[in-house]
């Protein structure tokens, strides 16, 4: 919950940063640096043959090409499901005939309020890919065991991708 006592440090197009004073459960107060983010949605696409679709995307903050699932930032008042439908088309060139919610995650609970909604997509129909000007993406279908092996070897450091693969696997969705 946002306190009434906050000092905005930065406001950008994706995040804002403030120092906020909050009351602790024992009544004391403390200052916290908090990044506010509108949230996001991510999707684990599954092809008809059972392969999952991962992407390798250029992420300067992550040090280069990062394995992940298609994802995007929620626009103001946007439903996470609508965000996923947009991102799966833009990033990998598919439209989902069936979307199922896998769960949600807090990305960096120690300093950020971003929530990412996780989905599984099936009944994929090819459409035109529509990358944004700052996106460089390689689309890589693979079997689930191969994707999980990448996680196990530490080659997928992205938390939303790790969690989506784990949830889909543990829930018997793939």
Residue 92: which CATH number? 3.90.79.10
111 within a domain of the structure (yes/no): no
Residues 6+ apart with CB under 8 A from 78: none
pLDDT tens digits in sequence order for the chain, 174 residues long: 445 689 999 999 999 999 999 999 999 999 999 999 999 999 999 999 999 999 999 999 999 999 999 999 999 999 999 999 999 999 999 999 999 999 999 999 999 999 999 999 999 999 999 998 999 999 999 999 999 999 999 999 999 999 999 999 998 888
pLDDT at residue number 96: 97
Both 13 and 58 in a single domain? Answer: no
On whether both 44 and 58 belong to a single domain, the answer is yes
pTM score:
0.92
CA 30/CA 160 separation, integer angstroms: 30
Distance between CA 4 and CA 144 in Å, rounded? 46
Same domain, 98 and 47: yes
Does residue 94 share a domain with residue 9? no
CA atoms within 13 A on the CB side of 172: 0
Other C-beta atoms lying within 10 Å of the C-beta of residue 49? 7
Residue 131 CA to residue 24 CA, distance in Å, equals 44
Decide if 112 is inside a domain: no
């Amino acid at each position: 919950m946002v306190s009434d006592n906050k000092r905005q440090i930065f406001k950008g197009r994706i995040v804002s940063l403030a120092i906020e004073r909050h009351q602790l459960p024992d009544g004391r107060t403390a200052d916290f640096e908090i990044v506010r983010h509108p949230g996001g949605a991510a999707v684990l696409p599954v092809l008809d043959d059972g392969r999952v679709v991962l992407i390798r995307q250029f992420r300067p903050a992550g040090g280069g090409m990062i394995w992940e699932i298609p994802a995007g930032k929620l626009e103001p008042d946007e439903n996470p499901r609508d965000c996923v439908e947009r991102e799966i088309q833009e990033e990998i060139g598919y439209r989902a005939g069936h979307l199922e919610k896998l769960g949600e995650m807090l990305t960096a609970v120690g300093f950020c309020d971003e929530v990412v909604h996780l989905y599984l997509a099936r009944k994929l129909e090819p459409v035109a890919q529509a990358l944004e000007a700052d996106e460089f993406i390689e689309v890589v279908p693979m079997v689930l065991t191969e994707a999980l092996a990448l996680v196990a070897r530490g080659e997928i450091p992205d938390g939303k991708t790790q969690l989506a693969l784990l949830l889909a696997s543990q829930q018997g969705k793939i």
